[in-house]
Copies of this chain bind each other. A is one copy, B any other.
Amino acid sequence: MMARAGLTPERLAREGAEMADEVGFENVTASALARRFDVKVASLYSHVRSSRDLRTRIALLALEEMADRASEAVAGRAGKDALGALANVYRDYAREHPGRYEAAQLRLDPETAAASAGVRHARTTRAILRGYELDEPDQTHAVRLLGSVFHGYVTLEMGGGFSHSAPDTQETWSRTIDALDALLRNWPAA
């Protein structure tokens, strides 16, 4: 009588990601997702272990997508060009997929994080620094700084932290990339 809905962990994660962008990651609940599939809540629990598990899968999907975009953006570019391209991956992804971007910030336990696309993404960030002359350990410091700036900026902008003031954020964004490029070319000695 009832046709099977064809649930799988992957489909749940994909639809959950879609939903996150529409209603915010914190509103992606097992109940709401079940409603979206026109299925009873309990049915989800054959496919995901828990609500937490569901959210983790959405986070991993988002990390994967960002890592894909990052490696594509950086391929064939170097120096400031590459830097700007990577920066824009963060910003654009967060704008196009705010719910997924939130999801990507979910705290993962260490093993899950180590197995995630986050690692690949970190390698991409490091690759950008090949265009600048930095040796270890400064290279690591710089990777961390870039991650901080991109993530921090996008978070604050999404949260409206910059919203009520001139000049506009696009201008700040370009100048931030200029500034980071200048900094990397002129990295202060320890």
Contact = CB atoms under 8 A, between A and B. Distances in A.
Interface of A: 105, 107, 110, 113-114, 137-138, 140-142, 144-145, 147-153, 155-156, 159-167, 169, 171-172, 175-176, 178-179, 181-183, 186-188, 190
Given A151-B156, A164-B114, A167-B137, A183 B179 contact: yes
Contacts of A153: 144-145, 148, 152
B162 A152 contact: no
A153 B152 CA distance: 7
Given A145-B172, A179-B183, A179-B188, 8 more contacts: A105-B155, A110-B160, A141-B179, A144-B176, A145-B153, A148-B149, A151-B156, A183-B183
B179 A182 contact: no
Contacts of A166: 137, 140
A134 to B, nearest CB: 11
A186 B181 CA distance: 12
Contact of A160 (B113, B140, B148, B171): B113
A153 to B, nearest CB: 4
A189 to B, nearest CB: 9
